[in-house]
Chains A and B, each alone.
Chain A
Amino acid sequence: MRGCASQPGNSTMPNAKITRGLLALGCAALVSGCASTSASKNDPSDPWEGPNRAFYNFNDAIDRNFFTPVAKGYVKVTPQPVRAGVTKFSDNVAYINVIANDLLQGKLSDFASDTGRFVVNSTLGIGGLFDPATGMGMPAHDEDLGQTFGVWGAGEGRYMVLPMVGPSSIRDAPGIATSLALNPLAYLNPVVTIPLGFVTAVNARANLLEATNIRDQAALDPYTFVREAYRQQREFKIFDGNPPADDMDDYIDSADAENTADDAAVLKVY
């Protein structure tokens, strides 16, 4: 069953976000898609569509020719438990960013639980390779600076596709720098950081293979597909998976009015 299990930017895998900050390469995956569409009339919600599409195609070419084959090879030669360990390790090493954003968002109980989680997994979990904290009642959360700005009331700002990074926005892009700055790996000797960063990036790409399969299979226009999925998932994360249901009125109005104009937002009904 792979129907609804994953979407680009898999929300159950905070490592994608983390690795993006760390190496900026792993998430080339997120932006890939075939270059079948010519530049089109700009969508009013995406004024930078022209350059965005160019970067999308650039990232996609790198992803298809390099990261996808490498990730597939990695899945073939690495046993599942090893990949799970790498995922947990990269999640854990990037977790200080989550803790900092708990605090910025005023989520004090998450802050306490996430601090405990980081300490437990870094020690009992042998540097984060294992995750005993979840079983001890300290589940993983997914926070970053873009979500914090969202919680503070900031809108998305313009959508951007960043070269070698992937989908982002005015609101979300600064978080790439802070997640990098709060990742201890960034401060180690490059002899350690570079290979370790490479492995975690390939691992993150491997975790997204299912999502990108779905995209390749379902999307008519992969650029638009990724953009909309990205926007909606960011919204979903800002509300920690429980967005308000008040949009239902809008949905009814717009559906009945037939002429629905550019109100894609009202269709986001949770």
Chain B
Amino acid sequence: MRLLPRLLCALCLALLCGLAPAATATPTATVEKLHATLLSLMKEADSLRYQGRFERVAPVLDQTFNFETIGRVVTGRYWKGLAADKRSSFLDTFRKLSAATYAENFDGYGGEAFKTLGEEIKKGAALVRTQIVKSDGKTVSLNYVLNQSGADWRVVNVIAEGVSDLSLKRSEYGAVISREGIDSLIAKLNAKIASYAAANP
């Protein structure tokens, strides 16, 4: 029976953490906070509807994602040349798009569960490995890269089944910026957001 000592140990740690001022959330805690919200979107999808899901997930994304870093990486070499107002306009649109994408896709519950597999921290970056376990037992690999922003660990990349969201967006956004410019990119992202909202009256 080694369970009891472990539980006690965990309890002590929890108490210590509770006492410490401005406790630093672990990378896993950040990811699990996001997952808990996503699960609630799925379970309450019908009563919340699209708008309700958007409003619930948007503030959580602001607390769990590092949009500054994400914005800089997805615009790649073009970031440097962007004026401050373009940067903030892009970031604002990107934030909304992220929330809209979650609201659009997490639109029902079929018995899925999120499972955290482990966490690695290396030179200020963390990798949290997780899985979505479907009701039939099949799993989808979902890994998160986080960096430390102040006291918090914030998500900077999501990798689903080996496909990096950041890298995908970076390639696409770079292609649009180089061809048509940042204003066109922002307009296209806004059109996406509008199309999600229009598809979910």
Contact A248 B122 (CB under 8 A): yes
Residue contact B171 to A224, C-beta cutoff 8 Å: yes
| Complex contact A3–B102 (CB within 8 A) | yes
Tally chain B residues at the interface, Cβ within 8 Å: 58
Contact of B162 with A267 in the complex, beta carbons under 8 Å: no
The distance in angstroms between the C-alpha atoms of A233 and B164, with both chains bound, is: 9
A7 touches B164 (CB 8 A): no
How many Å lie between the Cα of A140 and that of B141 in the bound state? 16
Interface mask (B103-134 → A, CB under 8 Å = 1, otherwise 0): 01111111010000000101111010000101
Residues of B contacting A2 in the complex (Cβ-Cβ under 8 angstroms): 105, 107
B contact residues around A220 at 8 Å (CB): 172-173, 175-176, 185, 188-189, 192
Known pairs A11-B161, A236-B162, A251-B145; A267 contacts B172 (CB<8 A): no
Q: Which residues of A contact B106 (CB under 8 A)?
A: 1, 3
Given that A4-B140, A12-B138, A269-B159 are known contacts, is A259 also in contact with B145, CB under 8 Å in the complex? Answer: no
Residues of B contacting A262 in the complex (Cβ-Cβ under 8 angstroms): 77
Contact across chains for A5 and B162 when beta carbons are under 8 A apart? no
What does the 1/0 interface line of A227-242 toward B look like (CB < 8 Å)?
1110011011100010
Contacts of A254 in B (CB 8 A): 73
Q: Are A225 and B168 in contact (CB under 8 A)?
A: yes
Given A3-B102, A218-B101: A41 and B127 interface contact (C-beta under 8 Å): no
Complex Cα spacing A232 to B76, Å = 18
Q: Is the CB of A245 within 8 A of B161?
A: no
28 contacts between A and B (CB under 8 A): A1-B42, A1-B108, A2-B107, A3-B105, A4-B105, A4-B140, A6-B161, A7-B161, A11-B161, A214-B105, A218-B192, A219-B172, A220-B175, A221-B176, A224-B172, A228-B168, A233-B161, A237-B162, A252-B125, A255-B73, A255-B147, A255-B156, A259-B77, A259-B80, A261-B77, A264-B171, A267-B170, A270-B162
Q: Is B143 an interface residue (CB 8 A)?
A: yes
**Is A264 a contact of B161 with CB atoms below 8 Å?**
no
A262 to B178, CA, bound (A): 13
With A and B bound together, what is the CA distance between A249 and B170 in angstroms? 19
Q: Looking across the interface, which residue of chain A has its beta carbon closest to that of B97?
A: A218
Whether B76 and A245, one on each chain, are in contact in the complex, defined by CB atoms closer than 8 angstroms, is no
B96 to chain A minimum Cβ distance, whole angstroms, is 15
Q: Which residue of B lies closest to A222 (CB)?
A: B172
Residues A236 and B77 in contact, CB atoms below 8 Å apart: no
Partner pick for A41 among B80, B147, B178, CB 8 A cutoff: B178
Among residues of A, the one whose C-beta sits closest to the C-beta of B127 is A245
CA distance A252 to B127 in the complex (A): 12
Q: Please, which residues of chain B bring their CB within 8 A of the CB of A38? A: 179
- Contacting residues, chain A, for B157 (C-beta < 8 A): 251, 267, 269
Q: A248, B123: Cβ atoms under 8 Å?
A: yes
Collect the chain A residues with CB atoms within 8 Å of residue B107's CB: 1-2
A78 lies within 8 A of chain B by Cβ: no
Leading 6 A-B pairs by shortest Cβ distance: A236-B162, A3-B105, A267-B167, A4-B160, A232-B163, A228-B171
Name the residue on A nearest B45 (C-beta): A1
Residue in B69, B122, B138, B171 whose Cβ sees the most chain A Cβ within 10 Å: B171
Q: Mark B159-200, 1 if CB is under 8 A from A, else 0.
A: 111111011101111011011000001001100100000000
Tell yes or no: A64 within 8 A of B by CB: no
Given contacts A1-B105, A228-B167, contact A249 B123 (CB under 8 A): yes
Complex: A56 Cα to B73 Cα, angstroms: 27
